[in-house]
Amino acid sequence: MFYLMMAMTGFSHAQTIAVVSENHRIKGSNAPGYSLELTGSMADAESSLPKFLKNFGKTRTNVDYTSVSNPFLGGITYEGKTLYATLKGNEKKCEVWIGMDTTEWRGEDIARILEKVKKVVYQFGVRFYFDLVQKEIDESQQAFDATEKQKARLVNQNKDLNIRLSNNEQERLHLQKSLENNELERMVIFQKLENNKKEQDSVANAGLQIKKVLDAQKEKQKRIN
């Protein structure tokens, strides 16, 4: 039952990834970007986001946000530029936002960069849900492996018990045969005892008869003069 319950946890349907345009306050500036609400814990997102952002540049995390220096977007590295990412939420839902302080991106096509940022946010949503499902797959695999191990143990135990049962049956038959032989030997001994008693009686009777003859002969001998 425990393994079945583990296998049934997790997502019951496909997740929808809806990226929304949203501005955040970053270092006192009104920064444009995109947000995404995720069905998952804040702890999972906090673990996943920094690792994901490392694919796009050098990351640094502080209390309010994570920064990505010299971001690599759409095949281009933007030297001297920075992206910012924030997270908020609880154990059931969280929201990720990635955007830019436009004052740091002078000379760049902001609209074009934001489209690339939107794709990054979407890619994070895909990666986040993929990792969550992979985590569930790993847990289910562990549960399945545990059942297979338990099944193998029970199969081996069954083989061992059958061998023991067969040995026990052989021993029972051997003991039963020994009891039968013992009973037969007992009967033979009783019969020999009976025969021995009869022979003793017969020899005793013969001895009495011979004794009588011997006494008569001795008496006869005394009368010779």
Task: Tell me 56's DSSP state.
Answer: G
pLDDT tens digits for range 46-95: 999 999 999 999 999 988 899 999 999 999 999 999 999 999 999 999 99
**Region of residue 67 (phi > 0: left; psi between -120 and 50: alpha; otherwise: beta):** beta
**Region of residue 75 (phi > 0: left; psi between -120 and 50: alpha; otherwise: beta):** left
Paired tokens of 7: 């296998």
- CATH 3.30.310 correct for 2-138: yes
Rounded to a whole number of angstroms, the distance between the first and last alpha carbons of the chain is 119
Residue extents of the structural domains in the chain: 2-138
pLDDT in the model for residue 14: 60
pLDDT tens digits for range 94-127: 999 999 999 999 889 999 999 999 999 999 999 9
Statement: the pTM of the whole predicted model exceeds 0.95:
no
User: CA of 222: how far to CAs of 191, 211, 212, 216, 219, in Å?
Assistant: 46, 17, 15, 10, 5
Contact 73, 120 (CB under 8 A): yes
Mean pLDDT over all residues of the chain? 90
The full DSSP string for 61-114 is: E-SS-EEEES-EETTEE-TT-EEEEEEEE-SSEEEEEEE--GGG-TTS-HHHHH
- The larger pLDDT score, comparing residue 220 to residue 176, is at 176
